[in-house]
């Protein structure tokens, strides 16, 4: 074995479930990865991976080898960061994923600031509404809206979030302003694909309204664009609509009937401690979301 590099190769293959995906992440050819894995197995004299047409999975020995390799590599990374941190710098790669809209509107500006302050840090940001396999796809951090379901990951709620109802002044001039949630039944609502009822707190109880409308999409950005064009009433997380509301392009509606509160969560692999680069981003997100909460004056980001 060639030490740490071979450990990294094996962990990538075991976590990715295949040589091709591991090679892509490592930035080398598939043949190089295959040769390195074979060399490790020959050196140890045990079979570490079980191969099939659907990919590879670690054998019992491979699972133990992966756990120990991950522990050693984590200790190595922590040692590097402890030394480099004394010089006030961060190196290596920060790979993260976030929902599309939040990524573009909240995360991207923060990553730009971090990139300027830490020029030796490589950043790989993937924005998607798909729930990614954090460990299998090699991410350091995931940002999610709504309580996560993966019990094996380390989760942290970093901010509350609510949806906000809105429409353009043009639409409201023609259709009127809804005064109570029930009034929405007489309006064109902009629908989110797969979405259910819109819920509002009325006094001490929750009221559910089934929105009706002729426009439906899986994109919050499209809902904002349609609402700005005067096509109906939209309902998206407040951080998405904030800029349009501040510019007067959209008017918040039914603000005295708040929607349920959700959370913004960070998720990371089950390591002993978060790397400094991950902690830095999480703290920056918390500060940014607090600022946005202060701008709105509500319990939302």
| 209-267 per-position pLDDT tens digit | 999 999 999 888 899 999 999 999 999 988 888 889 999 999 999 999 999 888 899 99
| Residue 301: pLDDT band with limits 50, 70, 90 | very low
Residue that finishes a domain, picked among 38, 55, 84: 84
| Residue 296: pLDDT band with limits 50, 70, 90 | very low
User: Are 146 and 191 members of one domain?
Assistant: no
| pLDDT (tens digit per residue) in 104-154 | 888 999 999 999 988 988 999 999 888 888 877 888 899 998 888 887 888
Q: Which residue has the tokens 């629908």?
A: 191
Of the candidates 233, 254, 228, which has an alpha carbon nearest to the alpha carbon of residue 243?
228
Q: What is the DSSP letter of 182?
A: G
Per the domain annotation, does 270 fall within a domain? yes
The range of the structural domain enclosing residue 245 comes to 161-261
**Contact present, 110 and 284 (Cβ < 8 Å):** yes
Total structural domains within the chain? 3
CATH number at residue 153: 3.40.190.10
User: Are 32 and 171 members of one domain?
Assistant: no
User: Are 237 and 177 members of one domain?
Assistant: yes
User: Are 77 and 40 members of one domain?
Assistant: yes
| Residue 165: pLDDT band with limits 50, 70, 90 | very high
Average pLDDT, integer, range 203-211: 93
User: Are 79 and 121 members of one domain?
Assistant: no
| Residue 295: pLDDT band with limits 50, 70, 90 | very low
User: Are 291 and 147 members of one domain?
Assistant: yes
Per the domain annotation, does 243 fall within a domain? yes
Written as six digits, the tokens of 248 are 């007067």
Which residues, at least 6 apart from 183, have a Cβ–Cβ distance to it below 8 Å?
A: none
Per the domain annotation, does 301 fall within a domain? no
User: Are 255 and 289 members of one domain?
Assistant: no
């Amino acid at each position: 074995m060639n030490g740490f590099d071979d450990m990294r190769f094996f962990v990538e293959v075991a976590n990715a479930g295949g040589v091709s995906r591991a090679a892509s992440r490592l930035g080398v050819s598939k043949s190089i990865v295959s040769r390195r894995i074979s060399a490790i197995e020959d050196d140890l004299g045990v079979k570490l991976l079980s191969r099939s047409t659907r990919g590879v999975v670690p054998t019992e020995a491979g699972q133990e080898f992966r756990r120990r390799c991950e522990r050693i590599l984590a200790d190595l990374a922590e040692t590097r960061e402890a030394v480099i941190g004394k010089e006030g710098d961060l190196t290596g790669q920060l790979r993260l994923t976030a929902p599309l809209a939040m990524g573009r509107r909240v995360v991207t500006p923060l990553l730009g600031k971090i990139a300027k302050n830490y020029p030796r840090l490589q950043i790989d940001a993937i924005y998607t509404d798909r729930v990614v396999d954090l460990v299998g796809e090699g991410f350091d951090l995931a940002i999610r809206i709504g309580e996560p379901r993966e019990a094996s990951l380390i989760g942290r709620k970093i901010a509350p979030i609510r949806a906000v109802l809105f429409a353009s002044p043009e639409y409201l001039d023609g259709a009127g302003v809804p005064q109570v949630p029930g009034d929405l039944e007489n309006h064109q609502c902009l629908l989110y694909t797969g979405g259910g009822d819109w819920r509002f707190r009325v006094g001490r109880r929750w009221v559910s309204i089934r929105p009706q409308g002729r426009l439906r999409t899986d994109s919050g950005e499209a809902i904002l664009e349609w609402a700005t064009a005067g096509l109906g009433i939209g309902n998206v997380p407040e951080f998405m609509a904030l800029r349009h509301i501040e510019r007067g392009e959209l008017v918040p509606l039914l603000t005295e009937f708040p929607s349920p509160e959700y959370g913004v969560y960070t998720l990371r692999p089950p390591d002993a401690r978060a790397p400094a680069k991950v902690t830095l981003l999480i703290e920056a997100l918390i500060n940014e979301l607090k600022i946005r909460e202060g701008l709105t004056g509500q319990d939302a980001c």
